[in-house]
Chains A and B, each alone.
Chain A
Amino acid sequence: MLSLENVDSYYGGSHILHGISLAVREGEVVCLLGRNGAGKTTTILTVMGYLHPRRGTIRFKERDIGGLPPYAVARLGVGFVPQERGIFPSLSVRENLTVFARNARSGYWTLQRVFDLFPGLQARERNLGFQLSGGEQQMLSIARALMLDPVLLLLDEPSEGLAPMIVKEIVDVLKHLRGKGMAILLVEQNLRVALAVADRHHVMNKGEICFTGGSEELENSESVLRSYLSV
């Protein structure tokens, strides 16, 4: 469904991604691991079209999306949940969900289904975005991405800075989405979240992928865990 081939990406003059290749197949959950500054977020931003690859190709649903702006990528069916969550502070929870929703005709994710998945949000439907807690913001950000009726979700560190209870809730949500056949590209630093949710893992270091494998393989490669994941 999504494939990156030899992608090089730059922030202005600095070369961040060096020949990244990875793929997410239908219904698959793929995790990008690595320390701060490894290039995980840059990879996500490049897929979304916030950065354009200088070399290499990005394909989504058989289409080259390497030069598309973010809104076009989103409209092709990519749901984006950024690291800073990106809640619109002056919009109500309900408006945050509906403002860019694309489920009008045939979508599975209606407002009701989203509220069923996140009961906490329904209770705060009329609150404004800036009145939410960190956990609620994260839930809202995921819920809002679902309202676009995506076939692929990009999640950038959804567990970051949240209490263990909330992290568990989010893991449950991700498992539920996986059960529904949603393809997910997940960026994580929390190994336990990654192992609980993802089928395959890529470990990044200095803008390159230095390990690729399944959950068991990752758990058993002590050297990878020690050198690249500070576990």
Chain B
Amino acid sequence: MELLVAQLLNGLVYGVLLFFMAAGLSLIFGLMNVVNLAHGSFFMLGAFIGFSIFHLTGSFWLALVLAPIPVVMIGIVMELWFLRPLYARGHMDQVLLTFGFTFVFYDLVQTVWGKVVLTLPTPASLQSTVHIGLGVFSAYRLFLIGFGFAVALLLWLLLERSRLGAMVRAGVDNAGMAAGLGANIPALFTGVFGFGVLLAALGGVVAGPVLGLYPGMDTDILIPAFIVIVIGGMGSLRGAFVGSLLIGIADTFGKAYLQNVALFLIYLAMIIVLLIRPQGLFGIKYADAPPSALARTIMPSTPRTRALALIALLALIALPFGLADYPRALIAEIFIFAIFAMSLDLILGFTGLMSLGHAAFFGLGAYSVAVLGAQFGLNAWLGLVAGVLIAAAGAGLIGFFCVRSGGIPFLMLTLAFSQLVFSVALKWRDVTGGSDGMPLAMQPSFFGFSLSHSLVMYFMTLVFFVAVYLGLRRLINAPLGHAFIGIRENEARMAAIGYPTRAYKLLAFTIAGAIAGLAGGLYVIYNGFISSDAVYWTASGDILIMTMLGGAGTLIGPPIGAAAFLLMKNVVSSYSEHWLSIIGVAFICCVLFFPGGIWGAVQKLQPAGAKP
């Protein structure tokens, strides 16, 4: 009994921390339609700045009051200077921008405070324990629950009982109409964004004595907060509150009593809510964001482009002979991720669906090769075939549920499904090795040549890269590819002229999943090792960045993006600690100034005469 109450209390503590995150996320989404992926970063910044203020002043309470101030200032600058210029361009660009910022903030925290786990000590006045009828409880935890409930009550009063709150609710209902009645919507957006950041930063400080501080705590709190607002209902404060306590308690009890399936069950609950009641338990509206405006149409090949492509191919064949082992291996990895990025581009750039869960299929392909090899001694090439089929089947199944939606709901659904796959990879340790990963049982040969030779590895991946590139180019230029592009441009119109657009979207999703599975299988053969990190949502984010950085909606863009990303990661990181910031800033600049990515910028540089 005492243990049960203690678990319940811990659940409430976690729930309160989630509420600090979810309330702001939910308000920001409800009003601005922006899924702020950097919200966890503000939580993390609040925690670390609070830590420093505590060590300067020795007062936890001073830290609690002062730490949110600089964080809110950062948030407001981000809204004013970076999000605001993108209002006209659609919400997807804003989501991408916030993702770029997570890299910069992560790097900032890692640079200033280091990589070790820090803890903020419990304030002296609350270090005692409290005896209540059922047992002994930490005073700080009780304070935290009370503080959270008080903030929730205050928020509710502010939102439901004040005129300012009514203005925010009016803006959530219909921002355009509110503007027509004299509401300064941009100012309201900035205010609500800043307020959401304030809540996140406050949550970060009070979480300090409970959670521990480390770079990466941002995503660790962001994902459960997402689950909360999906289940509770985006834009609803009540939903954020109830959802936070539900998830907080469920997570705590799950970890205690159902250790292996708890994570899986929580993602499953999120998916079920999304499918049955997409607006969440308390949500009243679920705004559908328009698809990304970043795509561009590819040009038909001309003799000139064919000649250029042939020269590029010959250069790629000649290249490894002038290189040492390490760069050869690096380029082989680029080829694999280029395949992965091109597969994402088929749904992102060509069909107009932004997925934040594409790594699931990469993982299915990779684990198929590794697991079938380890359990049944299956040859890796046969495993690769099986991996492609399994990834295609998985994409068909997951896609069946996802393609019914579009915009932000699609993003959230794909994220939830990929996290479901991740939870299996993480928890089914006997088979997958979990976060420790598993090795490839036996490296296959490539037409009799040993892949342990870097030159063989290079050409093996090159062959697959060129094959996928040509296959996708054929697909895009075929009537089927044109149907995909038509759906991206105007799905309603495609449906009106007789295309079963949902079936087409599912087909695109399945093909993309199969190719991602191929990339995953190749990666295991290349790397000889796979762990659950490869399926985590940040891996989906990385591939999204590669695709957009290079130029979504083209076939050449994603490989260029993959090359740029991996070169930065591997080459820049050997010169500078700050490769994450460099990638983040490059990506932010790309979203702001080069919506067509690197390849789009290159195309703009071409003389006008070269364009058809």
Contact = CB atoms under 8 A, between A and B. Distances in A.
A108 interface: no
Q: With a 10 A CB-CB cut-off, give which of A91, A98, A102, A145 has the most chain B CB atoms.
A: A91
Nearest to B178: A100
A162 interface: no
A71 B163 contact: no
Interface stretch (B71-79, B169-177, B487-495): B169-177
A86 B284 contact: no
A91 B173 contact: yes
Given A95-B166, A99-B163, A99-B167, A71 B173 contact: no
B184 interface: yes
A90 B172 CA distance: 9
B210 interface: no
Interface in A76-110: 80, 82, 86, 88-91, 95-96, 98-100, 102
Contact of A99 (B170, B176, B179): B170
A174 B578 CA distance: 66
B173 A102 contact: no
A71 B183 contact: yes
A206 to B, nearest CB: 23
B177 A71 contact: no
B312 to A, nearest CB: 36
Interface string A139-175: 0000011001000000000000000000000000000
A144 B179 CA distance: 13
A48 interface: yes
B182 A75 contact: yes
Given A89-B284, A99-B163, A71 B169 contact: no
Given A89-B284, A98-B163, A70 B170 contact: no
Contact of B170 (A69, A82, A88): A88
Contacts, number: 67
Interface residues of A, number: 24
Contacts of A102: 182
A50 interface: yes
Contacts of B172: 90
A195 interface: no
A71 B170 contact: no
The number of chain B residues touching the other chain, given as a range, is 10 to 19
B170 A91 contact: yes
Contact of A86 (B166, B177, B184): B177
A3 B170 CA distance: 31
B183 A100 contact: yes
Interface in B282-316: 284
Given A91-B169, A99-B170, A86 B180 contact: yes
Contact of B181 (A50, A69, A80): A80
A51 to B, nearest CB: 12
Interface of A: 48, 50, 69-71, 74-75, 80, 82, 86, 88-91, 95-96, 98-100, 102, 129, 144-145, 148
Given A80-B181, A82-B177, A99-B163, 5 more contacts: A70-B179, A70-B180, A99-B166, A100-B181, A148-B182
7 residue pairs, one from A and one from B, having the closest CB atoms: A86-B177, A74-B182, A100-B181, A70-B179, A88-B173, A80-B180, A99-B166
26 contacts: A50-B180, A70-B176, A70-B179, A71-B179, A71-B181, A71-B182, A71-B183, A71-B185, A74-B179, A74-B182, A80-B180, A80-B181, A82-B180, A88-B169, A89-B173, A90-B169, A90-B173, A91-B166, A91-B170, A96-B170, A98-B163, A98-B166, A99-B163, A99-B170, A100-B182, A100-B183
